[in-house]
Amino acid sequence: MSDRVLYDFWRSSAAFRVRIALGLKGLDYDRAVIDLNAGAQRSPGYRMLNPQGRVPLLIDGEAALNQSLAILEYLEEVYPDPPLLHGDAAMRGRIRGAAQIIVSDVHPLGNSSVMRYLEERLGHDRDEFIAWYGHWMSVGFGPLEELAERSSGRFLFGDDVTLADVCLAPQMYNARRWRTDLEPFPALVEVDKNLMELSAFRNARPEAQSDASA
């Protein structure tokens, strides 16, 4: 048993980010599966741990942390090697900015709760949701494609994996899942291919998790 527990669901892209970071930093952890499809996130026991009722939630000793980017920043502070934030303050700010495009601008618009609201309350069907999410992913991928084109290395900011890459890979997974056209973003496709050559990224993929289903 580890003192580190990740409350997780295989298809959560936010949890996917944390799985990647834990793998990159070589940190052992136990998974506690929260089945979002079955509504386990709304159970009183889980809400006691995480009043927001979402995943991921990371328990690390006495620390209990929710929200994926906050968890990633915590891991970077407490377990700095290997670093996911490189360079001077300006470079670290640019890395954080790229991560925020994904975490703050793009991902929330395709969250499962948004999808349910669009379908159940506003009467939109699944194809309309796919068009909605594809549009906003393309808007967010535009500036990231420019970053990738300017990169001097295999990843978004050179040859070192950064916080931005940790956030990019799950969003690329989402793009394929929801049939977003990636032809306009060849540099991002190449970065994603390079990331998936790393075991920390491959092992964190949704289909590699014990609770994965078709």
Using 50, 70 and 90 to split pLDDT, how confident is the model at 140?
Answer: very high
Task: Quote the domain boundaries for residue 144.
Answer: 89-200
Domain end residue (candidates: 64, 82, 100): 82
Element (H, E) at 30: strand 30-33
For 48-123, strand residue ranges (E) read 57-60, 63-66
Q: Is the pLDDT of residue 214 over 50?
A: no
CA 115 – CA 11 distance, rounded (Å): 15
At residue 119 the predicted structure's pLDDT band, cuts being 50, 70 and 90, is: confident
- Domain count of the chain? 2
Average pLDDT over residues 134-156: 95
**Domain co-membership, 99 together with 192:** yes
CA angle 167, 20, 28 (to 5 degrees): 150
**Residue 123 and residue 24 share a domain:** no
Residues of the chain with pLDDT > 90: what percent?
A: 83
In terms of C-beta density within 10 A (0-12 exposed, 13-18 middle, 19 or more buried), how is residue 205 classed? middle
pLDDT tens profile 174-199: 999 999 999 999 999 999 999 999 99
For position 112, what pLDDT does the model report? 75
- What mean pLDDT, rounded, does the chain reach? 94
pLDDT at position 114, please?
Answer: 72
Does residue 210 or residue 132 have the better pLDDT? 210
Average pLDDT over residues 9-27: 98
213 assigned to some structural domain: no
Give the Cα separation of 175 and 134 in Å (integer). Answer: 7
The dihedral formed by the CA atoms of 142, 144, 149 and 150, expressed in degrees to the nearest 10: 130
pLDDT over threshold 70, residue 146: yes
Percent of the chain residues past pLDDT 70, beyond the cut = 99
User: What was the pLDDT predicted at 1?
Assistant: 67
Residue 209 lies in a domain: no
How confident is the model over 47-70, as pLDDT tens digits?
A: 999 999 999 999 999 999 999 999
Look at residue 148 and tell me whether its pLDDT is greater than 50: yes
Residues 182 and 93 in one domain: yes
- Residue 180: CATH number of its domain: 1.20.1050.10
Closest C-alpha among 34, 28, 32 to residue 2: 28
Residue 40 forms part of a structural domain:
yes
